[in-house]
Amino acid sequence: MTNQQFLKIVLLVLFTFFLWSQTLSDKSLLPYDTIDNNYFKDQGDAKRQLAWAKVYLDKAKKENKAIRKARGYYLYAILYYEDQPLKAIQYLDSVIKYSKIEPNKFFPAAAFCEKAGLLVDLRKFDEALLNFNLAEQVALKTNIDYYYMVRDYIGTTKSEEMGEVEEALQLYHENYKYYKTKDYRGDYYSYYYQNTIFGLADCHKSLKHSDSTTFYNKLGYKETTITKNNELQLMFTLNEGANQVDKRNFRAALDSINKALPGLIKVKNTGNVLASYFYLGKSYAGLGDKLLAVQNFIKVDSMYRVRKKITPEFVGGYSYLIEYYKQTGDKQNQLKYLTTYMEIDSVLQKNYKHLSKVLRDEYDTPHLMAEKEALIQLMEKKQSASYIWIVVLVVGVAGLIVYQFYLKKQHQNRFEAILNPAKSIEENSTVLETQLTTPDAKKSQVQQSLSNEIVLELLEKLTVFENDKGFIENTISIQKLALELNTNTKYLSKVINEQKGKTFVQYINELRVNEAVLQLQAQPILQNYTIASLASEFGFNSAEAFSAAFYKKYKIKPSFFIKELSKTRAS
C-alpha cells in the first residue's frame, strides 16, 4: 500500500498550528500573525500568497529577527513544493539557516524533515536520509514527540520507496511501544499511533508474514473505528484484502477490496485506488477470470500513465497483460505493455536497491529486449506493406485540416448540449406519456397484442433495472433480462422497441453511455482513465464498442467529451 501523503499532511498541520506563537513587536502596521493568516486565507491564489510572503520576510529582515526570517522563507517554500521542488529546497535551506540561530520546539527539525520529503520525491534517497537523521538529532533534544514523527517518515520511506522493509519494521515497533505509553486514542496521538500500526501491517505483508499482517490490520481497523479515522480505516481494509490475495483467499480478498475502493475514490486517494485495481486484478487472475483480471490491470496502467509513478509492488500486472495478449495474438497490445514494462523496469532499477530479484521473478531483461525487438520487426513488415497508402493519406491532409476546423465548432456545440439535456428529456417524457394514454385508432402493434397493464408493468420493471444500473453488467442479454423481469423475450423486445424507440442493444448501450456522462462529471478521477478502462467500467467489452456507442448517441467521441470536461473543471 501507499502512505506517502502522511508526511506532507502532518507537516502542514504542524507548521500552521504550532510554530509561531512568540511575542510580537509593534514596529509595523500589521502584526506577524495577521500577515500569516492572510497568507493562508489566500490559498489557491499564488500571486497574492507571494505578496504576503514578501511582506512577512521584509518585516522580519527589517527587524532582524532570525526565527521570523525562517518563517518568511518557509512561506516562500510552500509555494514551490509541487512545481519547483528544487527551489522549495533552496528556501528550506534558508529556513534551516535562520532557525539554527533561534531554534524552537519544531525548528529546524521540521525544516530538515520537509526537505527530506522533497528529496524522496526527487528519488535522492541518500540525501533524504541524511536530512531525516539531522531532523532526528535536533528533535531528540528539543521535542521527543516530533522525534518519533520523524521516525515514522523514515519508516515510510524505507519500506515504500527503498525496499528496506526489515529496517522499517524495527522503527515501527519502537514507535508502537512509545505511542502505547501515550493517550493513543486522544486527538493528538491517535493519528500517529494508527499510522504506526499501518506501517507494521504493511511491512509484515511485504515480508509475507500473513498472520501478523492480519493481527495489525484488525487492530488498526478497531482503532480507526473508535476515533472515526475513515480514510485510514479504508486503507486497513484494503491492506487486509491484499493480504488475503497473498494467502490465495481470493473471494475474501475481493470482498475487502470492493468495500474499500469506493471510499478511496471518494477521498481521491489515487495511490491506493491504483493499489485496489492491482489486487482486484490479482484476485480475478487467481480465480481464472482472465477478462476481469485484464480489465483491472489495464486500469492500473491507465493511472500509471497519468501519475507517472508506480512502486515494485504493483508492477506484476504488466507481465500478465503481456502474456495475455501474446496468447490472444494481439501483437500491438503485447508490444504496448511490453514497452511500458521495460520503461518502468529501467526507472525502478535506478531507484530501488532491492529490485533486481523482484523483476527477474517476472522476466529477465535480455528476454524482454529480444521479444520486443521481434515484435517491432513484425510490426515494421506490416507497416512497409502499406507504405503506399501513407503517401495517399498525406495528400489528403490539407483537406482534412479544413474539415477538422468545421467539426471542432460542431463538436463543441454537441458537448454543450450534453451538459444541458433537460429539453430533450422533457420531450421524450411527453412522447412516452402520449403513447400510453392516447386511445386513438393508431395504437402500435405492441399495444394491440399486449394490454396497457402489461406494458406499464414492464416499463416499471425497466425503470427499476435502470435505477439499479443493471446495464453495467457486461454479460447482460435480452434473454437474461427477460428472465430477471419474469417475462419473455418477445414481450420485452416489443416494449423496448415501441416504448423506448430502440432495439435492445441500442437501449442498453444508451443507458451505459448516459451513465458514463453522469459519472465523468460526478467523479473527476475517471477523467484520468484510458478509454479502454472506461469501457470496462461501464459494461462495454472493448474501447471500440464504447466509443461507437458514445458517438452514435452524442455525435462526438468520448475522448473529446473528457477533454472539454477537464477544461470546464479547470476554469
Number of other residues whose CB lies within 10 A of the CB of residue 545: 15
What is the secondary structure of 344-393 as a DSSP string?
A: HHHHHHHH-TTHHHHHHTT--HHHHHHHHHHHHHHHHHHHHHTHHHHHHH
pTM of the model: 0.59
**Tell me, what's the pLDDT at 380?**
60
Q: Which residues of the chain have pLDDT under 70?
A: 1-28, 347-407, 421-449, 570-571
Q: What is residue 20's DSSP assignment?
A: -
**Tell me, what's the pLDDT at 22?**
36
**Tell me, what's the pLDDT at 443?**
43
Cell of 564: 472539454
**Tell me, what's the pLDDT at 275?**
95
Residue 426 lies in a domain: yes
Residue 489 lies in a domain: yes
Residue 17 lies in a domain: no
Amino acid at 210: S
Residue 355 lies in a domain: no
Percent of the chain that is helix, strand, coil (3-state, to 5): 80, 0, 20
- 350: burial class by Cβ within 10 Å (0-12, 13-18, 19+)? exposed
**Tell me, what's the pLDDT at 441?**
38
**Tell me, what's the pLDDT at 525?**
87
Residue 553 lies in a domain: yes
Give Cβ neighbours of residue 326 (< 8 Å, ≥ 6 apart).
334
What is the secondary structure of 93-132 as a DSSP string?
A: HHHHHHHHHS--SSTTHHHHHHHHHHHHHTT-HHHHHHHH
Domain that holds residue 423: 397-570
Residue 372 lies in a domain: no
- Whole-angstrom distance between the N-terminal and C-terminal Cα of the chain? 33
CATH number for position 428: 1.10.10.60
| Integer Cα distance of 81 and 53 in angstroms | 15
**Tell me, what's the pLDDT at 393?**
57
| Integer Cα distance of 469 and 524 in angstroms | 20
Residue 504 lies in a domain: yes
Looking at the structure of the chain, the number of domains it has is 1
**Tell me, what's the pLDDT at 173?**
96
Residue 167 lies in a domain: no
**Tell me, what's the pLDDT at 436?**
44
Cell of 113: 524533515
